């Protein structure tokens, strides 16, 4: 099992194999299942992502039972169609998809946790935004997921992917870094460039707190996936341009773990700090859950 990003990059270079092949080989070895079974499971993950993106823009959109979130993916889609977006259609489509998936999650729909439900929009947001530009085939989209998964596995094994332990840097931060690395490979970048993109993306979101209003994965969680998507796309471009990092990916993962441990409990998914502790956030919690007696 690969226990570091460096091990992944070294293996890819030594074996002259893309990272997604290393991920598939490891999964076959670890699960003792066939190539076909491993591939089929990842295809199902992709299908769930596609369905959740499509579901989010049906009619007026999807809405959570609380009414706190919903309908924003449709609004962004209509805005995109105006042709006047400031960040460009590719970026805005990625944001639309990211927010849409998380709206489906908040509406109790089916999503693929990547790596968690709260960060489930970031990876599909990036994947679907680059699909047409890079003319990715179905197989190449599955490759993207395998690559992101291998990077995510290293984070999970060496640090954390749960907001309750490490803040949202561990959720959206990890997802953004995973997506950035996979986007670089999908665009024809080198394994080392994937590592550089991962490092930059995670550094950019170090310290991101987890502060869900009323303890629900809605506010600010849904919109927070938009920054994860944008960050991944930008850092992938930076890496593909040949920009490198002074701090390598594995050291950034270690730093994220330390930052997470240093965070007060109020900023780790307890709903007691950040925007959850604003007057509006508290009022929403009292309305939904009731005032603490």
Residue 234, domain member (yes or no): yes
| Per-residue pLDDT reduced to its tens digit, 71-94 | 999 999 999 999 999 999 999 999
Cβ atoms 1, 180 nearer than 8 A? no
Domain extent at residue 182: 5-288
pLDDT tops 90 at residue 292: no
pLDDT tops 70 at residue 49: yes
pLDDT tops 50 at residue 185: yes
Mean of pLDDT over the chain:
97
Residue identified by tokens 């950040």 is: 274
User: What share of the chain in percent tops pLDDT 90?
Assistant: 98
SS3 track for the chain: CCCCHHHHHHHHHHHCCCHHHHHHHHHHHHHCCCHHHHHHHHHHHHHHHHHHHHHHCCCCCCECCCCCCECHHHHHHHHHHCCCCCCCHHHHHHHHHHHHHHHHHHCCCCCCCCCCHHHCCHHHHHHHHHCCCCCCCHHHHHHHHHHHHHHHHHHHHHCCCCHHHHCHHHCHHHHHHHHHHHHHHHCCCCHHHHHHHHHHHHHHCCCCCECCHHHCCCCCHHHHHHHHHHHHHHHHHHHHCCCCCCCCHHHHHHHHHHHHHHCCHHHECCCCCHHHHCHHHHHHHHHHCCCCC
Residue 144, domain member (yes or no): yes
Residue 293, domain member (yes or no): no
Residue 88, domain member (yes or no): yes
First to last CA, the chain: 50
Confidence (pLDDT) at 293: 39
Confidence (pLDDT) at 291: 64
| Per-residue pLDDT reduced to its tens digit, 206-250 | 999 999 999 999 999 999 999 999 999 999 999 999 999 999 999
| Per-residue pLDDT reduced to its tens digit, 132-183 | 999 999 999 999 999 999 999 999 999 999 999 999 999 999 999 999 999 9
Structural domain count, the chain? 1
CATH code, 210: 1.10.4100
| Per-residue pLDDT reduced to its tens digit, 93-135 | 999 999 999 999 999 999 999 999 999 999 999 999 999 999 9
Residue 290 — very low, low, confident or very high, per pLDDT cuts 50/70/90? confident
Residue 63, domain member (yes or no): yes
């Amino acid at each position: 099992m690969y226990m570091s990003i460096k091990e992944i990059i070294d293996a890819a270079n030594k074996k002259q194999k893309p990272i997604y092949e290393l991920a598939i080989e490891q999964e076959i070895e670890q699960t003792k299942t066939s190539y076909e079974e491993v591939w089929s499971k990842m295809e199902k993950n992709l299908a769930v992502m596609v369905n959740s993106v499509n579901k989010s823009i049906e009619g007026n959109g999807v809405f959570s039972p609380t009414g706190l979130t919903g309908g924003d993916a449709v609004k962004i889609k209509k805005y995109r169609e105006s042709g006047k977006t400031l960040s460009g259609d590719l970026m805005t489509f990625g944001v639309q998809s990211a927010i849409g998936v998380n709206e489906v999650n908040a509406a109790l729909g089916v999503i693929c946790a990547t790596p968690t439900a709260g960060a489930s929009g970031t990876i599909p947001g990036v994947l679907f935004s680059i699909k047409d530009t890079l003319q990715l085939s179905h197989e190449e989209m599955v490759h993207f997921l395998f690559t992101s998964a291998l990077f995510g596995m290293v984070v999970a094994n060496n640090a954390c992917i749960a907001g309750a332990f490490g803040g949202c840097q561990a959720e959206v931060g990890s997802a953004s870094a995973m997506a950035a690395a996979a986007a670089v490979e999908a665009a024809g970048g080198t394994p080392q460039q994937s590592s550089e993109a991962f490092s930059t993306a995670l550094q950019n979101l170090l310290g991101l707190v987890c502060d869900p209003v009323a303890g629900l994965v809605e506010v600010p969680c849904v919109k927070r996936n938009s920054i994860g998507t944008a960050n991944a796309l930008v850092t992938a471009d930076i890496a593909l341009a040949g920009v490198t990092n002074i701090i390598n990916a594995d050291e950034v993962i270690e730093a994220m773990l330390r930052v997470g441990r240093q965070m007060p409990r109020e900023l780790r998914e307890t709903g007691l700090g950040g925007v959850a502790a604003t007057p509006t956030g508290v009022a929403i919690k009292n309305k939904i859950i009731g005032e603490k007696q």
